[in-house]
Structure 1
Amino acid sequence: MPTVQHQPSGSEALLADGTTVTIRRITPADRPAVLALHADRMSDESRRLRFFGASRRAPGLAADRLCAEPRPGLCALGAWAADDLVGEADYEVLDDHPQSAELALAVADAWHHRGVGTLLLEHLVHAAHEHGVTAFEADTLAGNRAVHRVFADLGLPVHHRYGQGEIRITVPLAETDEHYRRAVDERGRAADVASLTALLHPASVAVLGASRRLGSVGQTVLRKIRDGGFTGPVWAVNPHADRVAGAVAYPDLAALPGVPDLAVLAVPAPAVPAAAEACGQAGVRALVVLTSGLDADRARQLTDSCRRYSMRLVGPNSLGIAQTAPDVRLDAEFGGVFPLRGTAGVAVQSGGVGIALLERLAWLGIGVSTFVSLGDKYDVSGNDLLQWWESDGCTDLALLHLESFGNPRAFARTARRVTRTLPVLTVDAGRSAAGRRAAASHTAAAATPTVTREALFRQAGITATRSIAELVDAAALLHAQPLPDGRGAVAVVSNAGGIGILAADACADAGLALPALLPGLTARLLALLPDGASAANPVDTTAAVEPDRLRACLDALEESGAVDALLVCLVPTALATEPAGDLLRGLVEGRARRRLPVAVVRLDQEVPVRHLRADDGTRLPAYADVRAAAVALAHARDRARWLARPNSAEADVPDRDTVAARRLVDRYLAAHPDGGWLDPTATADLLDCYRLPLTTTVWAPDEHSAVLAARGLRALGHRNSAVLKAYWPDQVHKSAAGAVRTGLGTDREVRDAYREFTAAHGSRMAGAVVQPMAAPGVELLAGVVQDEVFGPLVVLGLGGTATELLDDRAARLAPLTQADLPAMVAELRTATLLSGRPGNPPVDLPALHRVLAGLSRMATDLPQLAEADLNPVIARPDGVLCVDARIRLEPRPPFDPYLRRLRRPRTATQAP
């Protein structure tokens, strides 16, 4: 058993009450702290329960054991609050059962019931997984209720064996399944919300750097807090002034009449670290740093102070925050408008985007519940705010503008849960080709940043828009209207034929369908509408339509069940001089009893989108452009489809051989410390560990071996011609290098092909592989690319030599769920080639799904997997077969995206 090695700096994480602690490995230098924990910070009763007696020597013996020089099989973790050790948990592998370990846990009495023990156990479970430990065992006294509660709440199965006053507990770790992850998620959510309370629901606020200069950032924020009606005390801190903006100014935090929950920093960049440290020493629980231009050293000092004193941080380079709840009414931002109270949660990295959203949400009357300008995002992130909005009871719409992701897999997991209860919308920024990196394989070529972000948003159920305007358009519809049933069938109704045709085109461009209406429905519509009307789809009511007839037309369409959304287009005409009056009033008055979403297009409307309001409070979104309305309806359709998908378990390969796979990877990286491409034999062995169907492949180091291999394939029943592929290290694209010969039916043809390779590629050629010719089928690409930020991305697309040219692919971040497997196939433009059509039966889709599941599981199990490129994969009705594969490994430490820990930004950890 290797010695457990954790980074000495450890991981910072939140306790149940929002306090920040550092979890790190206990070292020999920690002996005084470990001894003090057991001897001084635990009561006699706690020591009795921990050591099964009152021995005075027990604390010293425990400190000796835990703080000895590192030895194989022992992992001891401590939880530090600032410089105080408040808890420790350790396991030691059993001599007679190296996959099981004896577990021990101790928490200082003053820190009971704050989640210290549970957090330590989560990190200990993570360490155990890394080192092959599959079960924890522990002896406890029957009366040790606190420890039994910790185990019961962990989310893992717990088995008890009772003895005389003692209980033997066994915790199987192999079952850290979705139930355990949900338990960890819930603890993380509760801790996150607790830590954010001082930031987003503060009882008092101080503004540091509140200047006497009119128009300065500090004074502007101070005035907005005061004029916005903040319900608690707000204090100005300025050592050079007695009063600021008519309010008393205090020279420092110590002079304040109380300790503020929240401090807003508008001080110069050189003063930020000292100000943050002073806030922490004073007991402040949250910071908003408006200052920009911090260098790496100041960034590190700022982050260190926030973690040491358990302060949550927004910024630096933030526009500020706002909380419109009536019992808070905090407006601590320096935008040009006061945020309108409402129900949209808004988080942005760009201050300019934040100002635009505040203005447009006010136009619509949606308003905001919470607004946070994340700035450089050293601490508080979109993931934190999603969890706050999920819990605050007043947010029903979330709008995000994120330029970067600290932990995309944790974000996706949170968003996947939150989007089940409220719409989450974002602007998908950074889609340009300028962000693409050079690709080393077909799979890598397909895995552009755009594809990766799209996969993240799609899997999380996030509505991804392409501009601020589109974001607001979609928000206007989702906030005010019911969702369609997911078919995307729209009826266009207009009072002028031309605008109806434009609307129909816009719907088609957005991927919506305009189904032809059945004869019975068209007859009913014509009976309701004026002479000259057309009852096809689009429905032309003519300019003479009256409000009652228009409403009756919409009622008939809704009752028919033929469509699941209505798009109503109105233009001013000489026959109807008040389309924005009578006709719209008729629409709005009839909205209260309508089940389908309705979007209105008004060509005479001056603003891009607005809400029309009925007396009963219902709202109808009205757009100035048909395309905007159609795209908003398409987003609503996509959300309905997402909600209709049931939650599904991770796709698995039950008979995979993870142990053999990890052994193979370790062997290769021991021999190749910088990583590289596996040779054909190792590639075949690794694919076999995950039951990925590689065709029969025989390695031939020379010409004679190639001939014998081809004969052997024929003897095994492979009657088709053989394929010969030259191989050399770091080879990527065989066909482009002229390293493939097919249709070799005789020994002479095999010899001639091998000699051609030798002449063309010379000494760099290490040998060749011999394979049977595969039967024809649909050629696909399937593979994995490990993204440095987002993690492994699984790609499926049309394969062969024209992969990049056709650019037909679907992608998902691993791990895939069972629902992702058919969804990826269905997303391909060429999906009909796979699902079958008259005269062509479908391919073996379950076998194709197993390929995707195997790639997902392999990428999840092996963080060292940099790329896996299976191309082509031949899909046929009788099965799926990969005829060529390339795998690249690189040294990479394991990373658990679900382990609870706070992210440290790169700029806050690297000195200049």
Structure 2
Amino acid sequence: MVAHYPAHWEADVVLADGGTAHVRPIRPADADRMRAFYARLSDESIYFRFFGPRPELSDREVTRFTTVDYVDRVALIALIGMEMVAVIRYDRSGPGEAEVAFLVEDAHQGRGVASVLLEHLAATAREHGIQRFVADVLPANRRMTGVLRQAGYTADSRFADGVVRMTLDLTPTETSQEVTLSREHRAEARSIERLLNPGSVAVIGVSRAGGVGQTVLRNLLAADFAGPVYPVHREAKAVAAVRAYPNVSAIDGEVDLAVLAVPAAGVIDVVKECAEKGVRGLIVVSSGFGETGPEGRARQDELVRIARAYGLRVVGPNCLGIANTDPAVRLNATLAATVPGRGKVGFFSQSGALGTALLQRVAQRGMGISSFVSAGNRADVSGNDLLQYWEEDPATEVILLYLESLGNPRKFTRLARRIARKKPIVAVKSGGTTQGVPTGHAAPVLGLPDTALSSLFEQAGVIRVDDLVQLFDVAQLLAYQPLPKGPRVGLVSNSDALALLAVDACVAAGLSPLPPVNLGAGAGAAEFGTAVAEAVGRDDVDAAVVVYMPPIPGGGQEVAGEIVRVAGGCGKPVLATFEGRRGMLAELRTGMKGPDPAPGSIPSYAAPEEAVRALAYAVRHARWRDGLPDGHADREAADTRAARELVREALAEAGGVEVEIDATRLLAEYGVEVWPAVPVASADEAVAAAERLGRPVAVRAVDEEAVRRAGTVRLGLSDPAGVRQAFADLAGQLGAHTTLAVQRMAPQPAVPTVVSVVDDPGFGPVVSFGLGEVAARLLGDRAYRLAPLSPDEAASLVRSVRAAPLLFGEYGYPPVAVTALEGLLVQVGRLADDLPEVARLDLDPVLVGESGVVVLGARAVLRSPEGPRPDGGPRGLRPV
């Protein structure tokens, strides 16, 4: 019997030094690779693996090592280029146990190859019911013992007969997950650092008559890049007065970064040549890839596969390029002649065409950037990689994202939630009306509505703005002013009309404006200084907006200086509408850090409404930071083993594909009771059911479509005649094909709500909440959060729907048990997170009364998962 090759175990991985490798199961055809790999090993590595000298492997040994069954005997190898550089294997040795061993080529030891292979092998072992790895290790083999101990699993070591026997419990622990994420973070950050901090750059595809390649070359030279720049031209001896080379291999120095501006058809050959040269990163500005259709997409995927196989990360293709304003680097490897000066803003843009305009806007506002990356088709390097880098970059304090697609949305929200605690992230996400993905982007189409995306960004602390103007409006506030401690706004103005506009804008944005201080059209520096000082000095003011719009030009320099003087060091954000100008004006700067304004510089906006809008975003972000939960509640309340067995049995009965079930038993394992509903086919059955349940009862439709319609339930039926009449009315209204049920009457009054879970292909399990009223359903008034939910996140979810006031005693409704509702949402989130087989779960209706919550109906769709969830499983780059 030929073993089935498990292709889903293949993955491209980022190593500790930022390079890449390809991990896959071993095959019999790898025999020659195995021999060549073994021949490159040192005597010490061989001794540690086999406990003695072994000059070479016999043919029988090679066959045994390369022929496995992928169940009881599994081996994974790491490839760089065509060469095998490491192997790890397990052999099942007993029930739930397997012996593990690995070998890493000496030249690649210390790069984290063994650690990432162990993560992947552990995942394959768990897939086949193996709970423990056992390894016999020589005491001197500190590398292997270190890899096993530092994996974060529960480990036990015993010494006997000159050998250390180590046992690893493969059950994922909080420590093992933290170890994995920490290694992922360091590796991906390092891979971007290699791109943004090269020692040398080659531009391949330059011409003497202009064009894309020469544009990048001239921009590199104009920025005075700190290292050597190598133009590559097949025939020219020099380009732009710089010595040129016929190919990369001919360059007599090392090349860290290569910019490819050759026709798309020739890119693959150039990538291979760069790999042989030892280039560590690629920027592909060439077009003609995924944006052109299926043929271009195939070329794009091949580009990424080959680059990763040889250890290279790729920015692009079809991109603007990258820039780093660090004075020690001075890198402008872009098509944009204008790159802002040094600043504290990291900027990521997926659009190459838009990137030039965005950089110009930053420069026009007088802002600086730390670094900039345009990902183009984002075939490899993505916004997630940049988030990993900017989190640790001391030069970056604010992160700006222009997103057209999300490759791994769940990972994005995980990273953003962590990073936004200390560095604000401001994002524009295009495609909100269609949720489409631009042609050529290596990213899935999102299945959730745009309102859901906004909810999930909010949960992660991402400041999502509507357009590019708002992006820079918010950025210039966050980059130079402190976060506000509350929503109370002091207003100082020399125009009644503009002050009233500011007040209206504050109220509309949910801020609390104090009565504005109007100084009159003739106010000068002294008047503004006194008023601003009084405003920021008040205990009931959290931020100040200053409007200076003189009817006659002149005197602005003195007014600006006085505003900056009195606002400095107050610890509260101060914004201005200064003469209707926008940006970081020279008059409103506290000083200069090179070309970048110093902290405390006051941002100016064209209109007070724009200033207030930017401030409102900052207030909400500050409130998010202040309300961050400490962690999720104790998870021991749910019997996950029993729940998993229920799911397994239901799928087995359905043939293991997909099945819809009554979720009553499943929810019971999480402490959620679903009130029984007795299906009835006649009035007599309805009366009998009412007797068993105890009156009063309700008769209602249970079909999914009928439930959403008004008038499909009859409440408070306390006698047999009423039950008969209700059955007859609904049967006549809905038709004989509609299923009716009798259910015990829930306490009234109560607010009907709907709680759902959907397992989104990109985001994973997502919990949604909304009111069950017909109007709320029609208007799509729902809010969303990623599972699992902390109690604070559940509370935020409830309050995020527009109809939430109905739960809190407004508009004539009595206040209901919101705390019980939030507890239900936490439990549903736990279930969704624990059980990847739950493709959909609907609790409808959920009645929230004055004393508690009653779930009247629950259905679930179960589906056998095809692989790990998004952002789940061992480390790996997006597959191509």
The normalised TM-score by structure 2 is 0.89
Shift in CA distance, 563/147, structure 1 to aligned 2, threshold 3 Å: same
**Are 1:597 and 2:588 matched, yes or no?**
no
1:652·1:853 contact (CA, 8 Å) conserved in 2?
no
2:85·2:105 contact (CA, 8 Å) conserved in 1?
yes
- Map residues 247-396 of structure 1 onto 2, 5 A cutoff: 247-294=242-289, 295-396=296-397
Deviations 1:594-633 (A, max 9, x none): 221101113x334466462135744111111111100111
Shift in CA distance, 887/128, structure 1 to aligned 2, threshold 3 Å: same
**Are 1:468 and 2:464 matched, yes or no?**
no
Alpha-carbon distance in structure 2 between the residues aligned to 1:739 and 1:447: 30
What does residue 220 of structure 1 align with? 215
Q: What secondary structure sits across from 1:326 in the alignment? A: coil
What does residue 246 of structure 1 align with? 241
1:781·1:800 contact (CA, 8 Å) conserved in 2?
no
Alpha-carbon distance in structure 2 between the residues aligned to 1:738 and 1:827: 28
Alpha-carbon distance in structure 1 between the residues aligned to 2:432 and 2:766: 17
Partner amino acid for 2:426? L
What does residue 185 of structure 1 align with? 181
Deviations 1:620-648 (A, max 9, x none): 11111111100111121122122223453
Q: What secondary structure sits across from 1:557 in the alignment? A: helix
Partner amino acid for 2:317? P
What does residue 645 of structure 1 align with? 627
Alpha-carbon distance in structure 1 between the residues aligned to 2:24 and 2:103: 15
2:283·2:321 contact (CA, 8 Å) conserved in 1?
yes
Q: What secondary structure sits across from 1:819 in the alignment? A: helix
What does residue 844 of structure 1 align with? 817
What does residue 480 of structure 2 align with? 480
Q: Aligned-pair distance for 1:499?
A: 1.3
What does residue 795 of structure 1 align with? 768
Paired residue for 2:664, among 662, 672, 684? 684
Partner amino acid for 1:814? A
Partner amino acid for 1:775? P
Deviations 1:272-305 (A, max 9, x none): 2222222222222111111112212321221122
Shift in CA distance, 784/733, structure 1 to aligned 2, threshold 3 Å: farther
- Map residues 795-814 of structure 1 onto 2, 5 A cutoff: 795-814=768-787
Deviations 1:495-551 (A, max 9, x none): 222211111011112221124xxxxxxxxxxxxxxxxxxxxx112223344423432
Alpha-carbon distance in structure 2 between the residues aligned to 1:113 and 1:736: 64
Alpha-carbon distance in structure 1 between the residues aligned to 2:641 and 2:63: 34
Shift in CA distance, 50/274, structure 1 to aligned 2, threshold 3 Å: closer
- Map residues 1-400 of structure 1 onto 2, 5 A cutoff: 6-7=6-7, 10-30=10-30, 33=33, 40-52=39-51, 67-70=66-69, 72-93=71-92, 95-96=94-95, 98=96, 100-177=97-174, 179-214=175-210, 216-294=211-289, 295-400=296-401
1:212·1:244 contact (CA, 8 Å) conserved in 2?
yes
Q: Aligned-pair distance for 1:573?
A: 3.3
1:499·1:569 contact (CA, 8 Å) conserved in 2?
yes
Alpha-carbon distance in structure 2 between the residues aligned to 1:819 and 1:506: 29
2:24·2:78 contact (CA, 8 Å) conserved in 1?
yes
Q: Aligned-pair distance for 1:331?
A: 1.1
2:583·2:603 contact (CA, 8 Å) conserved in 1?
no
What does residue 588 of structure 1 align with? 564
Structure 2: which 5+ runs fail to align? 290-295, 438-445, 593-597
Paired residue for 1:780, among 750, 753, 768? 753
Shift in CA distance, 382/165, structure 1 to aligned 2, threshold 3 Å: same
Q: Aligned-pair distance for 1:118?
A: 1.0
Alpha-carbon distance in structure 1 between the residues aligned to 2:828 and 2:4: 29
Alpha-carbon distance in structure 2 between the residues aligned to 1:774 and 1:888: 26
2:753·2:848 contact (CA, 8 Å) conserved in 1?
yes
Partner amino acid for 1:571? M
- Map residues 703-718 of structure 1 onto 2, 5 A cutoff: 708-714=688-694
Q: Aligned-pair distance for 1:859?
A: 2.4
What does residue 441 of structure 2 align with? none
Q: What secondary structure sits across from 1:620 in the alignment? A: coil
What does residue 656 of structure 1 align with? 638
Q: What secondary structure sits across from 1:416 in the alignment? A: helix
**Are 1:614 and 2:590 matched, yes or no?**
yes
What does residue 293 of structure 2 align with? none
1:608·1:625 contact (CA, 8 Å) conserved in 2?
no
Alpha-carbon distance in structure 1 between the residues aligned to 2:766 and 2:319: 32
Partner amino acid for 1:402? L
**Are 1:859 and 2:832 matched, yes or no?**
yes
1:455·1:813 contact (CA, 8 Å) conserved in 2?
no
Q: Aligned-pair distance for 1:306?
A: 0.5
Q: Aligned-pair distance for 1:82?
A: 2.6
**Are 1:494 and 2:493 matched, yes or no?**
yes
Alpha-carbon distance in structure 2 between the residues aligned to 1:17 and 1:370: 21
Q: Aligned-pair distance for 1:587?
A: 0.3
Deviations 1:67-110 (A, max 9, x none): 455264444332222333333334455534x3x54433333333
Q: Aligned-pair distance for 1:255?
A: 2.0
Q: Aligned-pair distance for 1:269?
A: 1.9
Shift in CA distance, 168/701, structure 1 to aligned 2, threshold 3 Å: farther
Alpha-carbon distance in structure 2 between the residues aligned to 1:249 and 1:447: 49
Partner amino acid for 2:631? A
1:651·1:857 contact (CA, 8 Å) conserved in 2?
no
Alpha-carbon distance in structure 2 between the residues aligned to 1:581 and 1:851: 59
Q: What secondary structure sits across from 2:214 in the alignment? A: helix
Q: Aligned-pair distance for 1:788?
A: 2.3
**Are 1:569 and 2:547 matched, yes or no?**
yes
Alpha-carbon distance in structure 1 between the residues aligned to 2:532 and 2:797: 36
Q: Aligned-pair distance for 1:864?
A: 3.6
Partner amino acid for 1:204? S
1:782·1:873 contact (CA, 8 Å) conserved in 2?
yes
2:499·2:518 contact (CA, 8 Å) conserved in 1?
yes
Of residues 100-109 and 457-466 in structure 1, the stretch that sits farther from structure 2 once superposed is: 100-109
Deviations 1:293-352 (A, max 9, x none): 221232122112211211111111101111121121111111242432322211101124
Deviations 1:35-76 (A, max 9, x none): 765x54544544444345568999888766654552644443
1:798·1:808 contact (CA, 8 Å) conserved in 2?
yes
Alpha-carbon distance in structure 2 between the residues aligned to 1:868 and 1:701: 26
Q: What secondary structure sits across from 2:244 in the alignment? A: strand
RMSD over aligned Cα atoms: 3.3
Of residues 181-190 and 497-506 in structure 1, the stretch that sits farther from structure 2 once superposed is: 181-190
1:14·1:191 contact (CA, 8 Å) conserved in 2?
yes
Aligned residue pairs total 855
| Identical-residue share of aligned pairs (%) | 38
Partner amino acid for 1:236? P
Q: Aligned-pair distance for 1:702?
A: 7.9
**Are 1:892 and 2:872 matched, yes or no?**
no
1:864·1:893 contact (CA, 8 Å) conserved in 2?
no
Shift in CA distance, 326/844, structure 1 to aligned 2, threshold 3 Å: same
Q: Aligned-pair distance for 1:900?
A: 5.0
Of residues 75-84 and 265-274 in structure 1, the stretch that sits farther from structure 2 once superposed is: 75-84
What does residue 459 of structure 1 align with? 459
- Map residues 406-555 of structure 1 onto 2, 5 A cutoff: 406-432=407-433, 448-485=448-485, 487-515=486-514, 537-555=515-533
Alpha-carbon distance in structure 2 between the residues aligned to 1:186 and 1:790: 21
1:675·1:888 contact (CA, 8 Å) conserved in 2?
no
Q: Aligned-pair distance for 1:115?
A: 0.9
What does residue 903 of structure 1 align with? 877
Q: Aligned-pair distance for 1:779?
A: 1.6
1:87·1:107 contact (CA, 8 Å) conserved in 2?
yes
Shift in CA distance, 126/820, structure 1 to aligned 2, threshold 3 Å: farther
Deviations 1:442-496 (A, max 9, x none): xxxx9843123213321222221111111111111111111111x2111111122
Q: What secondary structure sits across from 2:797 in the alignment? A: helix
Alpha-carbon distance in structure 2 between the residues aligned to 1:693 and 1:840: 25
1:156·1:180 contact (CA, 8 Å) conserved in 2?
yes
What does residue 442 of structure 2 align with? none
